[in-house]
Amino acid sequence: MVQFYSPNRRSVNRGIISVTADNLDAQGQGIARHQGKTIFISGLLPGEQAQIQLTEEKRQFAKAKVVKRLSDSTYRVAPRCPHFKVCGGCQQQHVATELQANTKASVLEHLIQRETGVQVSAHPIIHSPDYGYRRRARLGLQYHAKQRALLMGFRQSQTNDLVNIKHCSVMRPELEQLLQPLSQCLNSLSAVKRLGHVELVLADNGPLIVLRHLDPLKHEDRESLRTFAVQHNVAVYLAGDEKSLELLMEEQPEPWYQVDGLKLVFSPRDFIQVNDAVNQQMVKQALAWLDLQPTDRVLDLFCGMGNFTLPIATKVQSVVGVEGVAALVSSGQYNAQLNELNNVDFFHENLESDIHQQPWAALGFNKVLLDPARAGAAGVMSHIVKLVPEKVVYVSCNPTTLARDSKVLLEAGYHLVSVRMLDMFPHTSHLESMALFSREPMVIE
């Protein structure tokens, strides 16, 4: 008789356990200890007692759900959004934003110290408005045959189902007020079953909407959208595929936003920072850390459309921006001309490939800024070291890759001078940060 090996499965204790949370993790889960094991409990805050039930158990930790909360923390607040606990967009509206931000800062400090051995403070935190901060949002569209209605919203937590959003407290009010009339307009279209998604963007000169449609729109549908655009003073763009983009009413102006006194025109599909208030502070902090001088030659890697590059150009001899997305490079070049900045060069290059043959790599720079995606900047760190810049500012959307890439600079003799936690996305687990490295020891006031 053939026997097959079957590993022992760790059984989950389904009994009720009483615990008190003593900490919070970056995902907003309460942390408690029971019989030497760490337990992560969704919805429980530090200081709160609760009866819980384990949902997953590992050798070193377990996860649990609250059966009954026995006390309330002073940091527990009433969520503003009616879709909280259903929508997967915001998970921490029940937590005071002060605790959210301080927890993220502590997570950042711990991670950097654990990975690099350097003890740093992520304070003062660069704060955001608690609500009404998001100037860009992408909502799914899903036709529900039984309801005979188009659902418009965000995914439910851990599912592919849409929550039909009528309010969104983290959106800028100018965008939130468009949700219900936009839903009504889209539901009236004959193409209602063949719509993909919709993006809402708030430029400094007004809101715009990008509608992804899977089939060509009939004249009647285009007229309905044109009426909506006029009634709500919004620019409507039609996207028949992932590359094309048609402005429904051609007389409407190009969208733009301001940063550090400059006007940056962008395409609705260009990446721009979602949180304008934090972006303004972030750019200001980066420029201050770099201590820009008229003789500086600055390199800006993963530069996008020049969110940092162009403000830097107003203060230095020259700046070079390198970016992998051709459309963003074109926008950067256009905006350099628009703002009459003649000391800027943009290069369209893949920074994840062999950079040593790329033309910008032969140039010399004395200061460097980089703002990579979540994967980090492993491919360029050794070249940054070869440049021997006086200062390096690293803007990060992933603390794990920031800590990893920091090791390269630290091993090359650089000093990690300062770190900031950027509260770019309150009520979510996203942790943005920035760090300053210097070739010489220095003290930041």
- Residues recognised as catalytic: 397
Other Cβ atoms less than 10 A from the Cβ of 51: the count is 14
CA angle 116, 388, 373 (to 5 degrees): 55
Strands 37-42 and 61-69: parallel
Find residue 155's DSSP bridge partners.
162
Provide DSSP, 220-270.
HHHHHHHHHHHHHT-EEEEESSSS--EESSTTSPPPEEEETTEEEE--TTS
Instruction: List residues forming the annotated binding site.
Output: 81, 87, 90, 168, 273, 302, 307, 323, 350, 371
At residue 136, the 3 state secondary structure works out as strand
Find residue 205's DSSP bridge partners.
none
Compute the distance between CA of residue 109 and CA of residue 220 in angstroms, rounded to an integer.
Answer: 56
76-79 contact pairs (CB < 8 A, 24+):
76/45, 76/48
Residue 26 · residue 2 · CB < 8 Å? no
Strands 29-34 and 256-259: unpaired
Compute the distance between CA of residue 345 and CA of residue 326 in angstroms, rounded to an integer.
Answer: 14
**Sheet of strand 391-396: strand arrangement:** 344-348, 318-323, 297-301, 367-370, 391-396, 432-438, 415-422
Instruction: List residues forming the annotated binding site for [4Fe-4S] cluster.
Output: 81, 87, 90, 168
**Nearby residues of 432 by Cβ (< 8 Å), 6 or more positions away:** 278, 395, 396, 397, 421, 422, 423, 424, 425
Reported as half-sphere exposure (CB side, CA atoms, 13 A), residue 387 has a value of 26
Four-CA torsion 335, 336, 341, 344, nearest 10 degrees: 160
